[in-house]
A and B are shown apart, each in its own frame.
Chain A
Amino acid sequence: MHGAILENLSGRKLAVLISLLLICQVVCFLIGGLVAPTPASAENWLATKCRHRENDTRKWLYPRGEGHCDSIDSLDIYRSIDPDRRKEAISQEYLKANELVFALQIPLPRNNMTLDYSRWQQNLIGVLQFDIAYYSDAERDPDDAWKHYASSVEERMLQCTMTNKEEGFHYNCSIIPFFELGSLHHDFYLLNIRLPVDAVKKTNQGLGHLEDIWLVAINQNGGFTKVWVSLKTIFFPFIIGIMIWFWKRVHQLSRSPALLEYMLLFLGVTLTFLNMPLEYLTLAFDMPFMLLLGDIRQGIFYAALLSFWLVFAGEHLMIRDGVDSNSLRAYWKHLSAVVIGCLSLFIFDMCERGVQLRNPFYSIWVTDLGTNLALTFIILAGISAGVYFLFLSYMIWKVFCNISAKRTVLPSMSSARRLHYEGVIYRFKFLMLATLLCAAMTVIGFILGQVSEGRWKWDDDLELEFTSAFFTGVYGMWNIYIFALIVLYAPSHKQWPSESEHRGSTNEEIEFSRLPTDPSEMSSLTAFARKSAMD
């Protein structure tokens, strides 16, 4: 009979294959740790305070270069109640709020070179930090200073607190989401921020001694993108190749493909979609939807992986009769948890990053309604994840129950069949272990990355960029995992020697062939599981 390659592979070949894959895994990890820089870098840029005397808000102000604006070093002279300084301020005319523009021209020059953004840097996320100083002489005592600002038609709320009020110290202000650009297509960016006062609309009324605005620009590092895209470029053809090989093998069989084989193919397709190095296109075209697309690609892949685990466990469980088990309908209850979770995350992502395609300054978190909506979807996704893991653990527990039940009757079988079953059980457990190991490694790596500051040092020469290593390592791991699954679960063309020799000689064999589906073409692992369910 035909079985999966996993069952027919000799221990030595399996060991060679696994050690090869493990070497690939270590290489992936080391590439991230030793070659790539951190995934993203943040740069702090201080806004230049420009004075704009005309009332034309359409005019753009440049802090540097030809025709740059009149910059103000400090706003202190306008705010002091010291008579001498007041005189100085009067001599320069009072500064009106509508005349003050915070201008930023990014990136800034370094080492006497004008820097420019490279398209390899992929995306740009901006965050504002306000330095608001506390002065007791000229201020009410706002524990929470609320503020709105308009940049196109934008509103942001700023929450500031201060535990010990000391003069000249800054309030501890929350960071303000500013913009998210899904593509970094241009070389330079100019930002003008105005905080106009409007007594009627009560905008910017309670704003304190704002001294400076810092912009923190977070972009993906070019080096990381290069390493990442190279990895994708390498994995992409491998996974496609193995899928073609797999599907050819399945079609050589006389039976129609089993559900597990469909699932494996689907998993391969979603992984290929994730592996597709679309990032190359961003070097030539402006693709602001890349952030969103990246989320969707990852989402689809994880959804496929989670569904595969469910089906994998379910196919080895076989409580129901085997007739309708070859379709996904049997799993609708379990899969609905995955679907609901992914769908709510998708809706949330569309509300945040989808809208940002139209307006990069948009953020769902700035309004109360938006925050509640976002939280609803995230909580819904969390609940689905919990339900999913309950289902999965329950099913795996059932499979192991079945296996141990089968174990007790093993001694009464013929030696060849016993060896066969023991091998199947061992390999099923081996695969479960591999899955568990992969998941655990991901979780442990993630936690370590959060705990350590992202940089590990063993000695002065060897510095490992842990965050990057984690990303490339995990990415490589899931690729290798799925590669291995497809290879090991492909139908084998080898005959089962012991099986054919002893065919018909034992009672179990007869019982085996009485199963509803034709056992000769079924994966013997599945057959075993079904049989155990019938026992």
Chain B
Amino acid sequence: MPNSQQVTLDLTSTSYRDNCDRLRYLEEKQRELCALSQNILTSLGIGAKMAIDECQYQFRMSRWNCSTFGNTTTIFGGVLSVKSREAAYVHAVSAAGIAYTVTRACSRGELNECSCDSRVRSRKPKGKWQWGGCSEDIHFGEKFSRDFVDSHENRDTADGLMNLHNNEAGRRSIRSRMQRVCKCHGMSGSCSVRVCWRKLPPFRQVGDALSARYEGASHVKMVDKKRRRIKKLRAVSRDYKQPNKTDLVFLEESPDYCERNETMGVLGTRGRLCNRTSMGPDGCRLLCCGRGYQTRVRDVEEKCHCRFVWCCDVKCDTCRYKKEEHICN
């Protein structure tokens, strides 16, 4: 389970250095990174929260709905101890979430630590920016995520390799979705001089992309090359496509999410609302695992015909209507 998500739980604004020391589950390196500044801890918290929200949004229609448990040290319960597709998704989305928020924090000037190097020619480090500008913030975001999230993974175990692979896939899904925008500013505004930059995508787009990767995740096993002592992940069967760096990988098949399982932290689908007409995973047939469902009709009062008012208000009418709900047995 990525430790980053635990940071959310104990966020207080007391002395952040003490705070970082108190977070015992952090590795030595993570504690160092955390103690860099107060804002890093905040960013990490926001990133983890955003990743969880995104996971819950993407899986709102599946048997496993990315449910969290606030009172345990492992946020997702024991689900992630199985090295399944779901664990792959959670790792990818949280690594991406941290890279994303750190990048944003850099762009907003909240982190003084954001670096300016990479691919800039300069003789003195001090005048780097004035000489040739800075690298994109996403480079620092990715680097930070790599340092922080990847630091406690063991490269010699299959689990560690899988997590590292998925973390990297998550980070790459941000970069590959950045949109390139250009502006001409040459003589009289002509295109003789043109400068381009890349725009950060909304995190929903990253979550969507990872969801698609989740659907096509590769089942892998670790292969140990004896001669060169390199451990690598390879597809379980030669017939399958070898995973590339942007694919998600998993080692074990997912557990049964239909029935409640306290030890695994699976809540089961009993009592979940389902969609009677859908043929997808949120349809009653699939979601209720064949146990059937009950239908209840109730009068509800809901906000409707909402209009958004800039900047920060939503004006709605109240509507009353009968609502039909289907609940899994």
Q: What residues make up the interface of A, taking CB atoms closer than 8 Å to B?
A: 35, 37-48, 63-64, 73, 75, 78-81, 89, 94-97, 100, 105, 107-113, 115, 117-118, 120-121, 125, 127, 129, 131, 133, 135, 137-140, 166-170, 175, 195, 197, 204-205, 207-211, 214, 216, 218-219, 221-224, 226, 294-295, 298-299, 345, 348-349, 352-353, 446, 450, 453, 465, 467, 471
Contact = CB atoms under 8 A, between A and B. Distances in A.
Interface stretch (B235-243, B271-279, B301-309): B301-309
A40 B185 contact: yes
Contacts of A81: 303, 306, 314, 316
28 contacts: A37-B122, A39-B193, A42-B133, A42-B183, A42-B197, A44-B107, A44-B199, A46-B107, A47-B108, A97-B310, A100-B311, A105-B109, A108-B109, A110-B116, A115-B130, A129-B199, A131-B202, A138-B308, A170-B201, A195-B311, A197-B309, A197-B310, A207-B311, A211-B202, A216-B181, A223-B132, A345-B188, A348-B188
A295 B187 contact: yes
Contact of A175 (B114, B122, B181, B311): B181
Interface in B262-301: none
B126 interface: yes
Contact of B187 (A111, A168, A298): A298
B122 A218 contact: no
A395 B194 CA distance: 35
Contacts of B310: 97, 195, 197, 204-205, 207-208, 210
Given A42-B197, A218-B183, A298-B187, A63 B308 contact: no
Q: Is the interface of B mostly helix, strand, loop or mixed?
A: mixed
A139 B185 contact: no
Given A44-B107, A48-B109, A209-B308, A175 B183 contact: yes
Given A45-B108, A221-B132, 8 more contacts: A38-B133, A42-B195, A44-B197, A44-B198, A73-B46, A95-B311, A352-B188, A352-B189
The 3 A-B pairs at the shortest CB distance, nearest first, are namely: A41-B133, A37-B132, A168-B204
Nearest to B117: A111
Contacts of B136: 44
Interface residues of A, dominant DSSP: mixed
Contact of B205 (A73, A139, A169, A352): A169
Contacts, number: 196
A48 B189 CA distance: 29
Contacts of B202: 131, 133, 168-170, 211
Contacts of A78: 311-313
A137 to B, nearest CB: 6
B188 A137 contact: no
B116 to A, nearest CB: 4
Given A40-B195, A46-B104, A139-B308, A222 B313 contact: no
Contacts of B120: 37
Interface centre among B46, B131, B194 (most CB of A within 10 A): B131
A214 B200 CA distance: 10
Contacts of B116: 110-111
A9 B303 CA distance: 91
Contacts of A97: 310-312
B129 interface: yes
A317 B110 CA distance: 69
A345 B199 CA distance: 32
Given A42-B195, A352-B188, A169 B204 contact: yes
A62 B104 CA distance: 18
B215 to A, nearest CB: 17
A42 B307 CA distance: 37
Contacts of B131: 37, 221-223, 226
B14 interface: no
A44 B137 contact: yes
Contacts of A195: 310-311
Contacts of B194: 450
Contacts of B46: 73
Contacts of A120: 130
Contact of B312 (A79, A127, A131): A79
Contact of B185 (A44, A209, A218): A218
A77 B191 CA distance: 42
B131 to A, nearest CB: 4
A38 B312 contact: no
A143 to B, nearest CB: 16
A453 B208 CA distance: 29
Contacts of A204: 310
B230 interface: no
Nearest to A100: B311
Interface string B203-233: 0110010000000000000000000000000
B113 interface: yes
In this complex, which of B121, B129, B185, B313 has the most chain A Cβ atoms within 10 angstroms of its Cβ?
A: B129
Given A79-B308, A140-B307, A218-B185, A37 B197 contact: no
B319 interface: no
A41 B133 CA distance: 6
Interface string B88-130: 0000000000000000101111001111110011100111011
Contacts of B197: 42-44, 216
Contact of A79 (B113, B114, B129, B313): B313
Contacts of B57: 168
A27 B308 CA distance: 61
B192 interface: yes
Nearest to A34: B121
Nearest to B200: A44
B134 interface: yes
A79 B189 contact: no
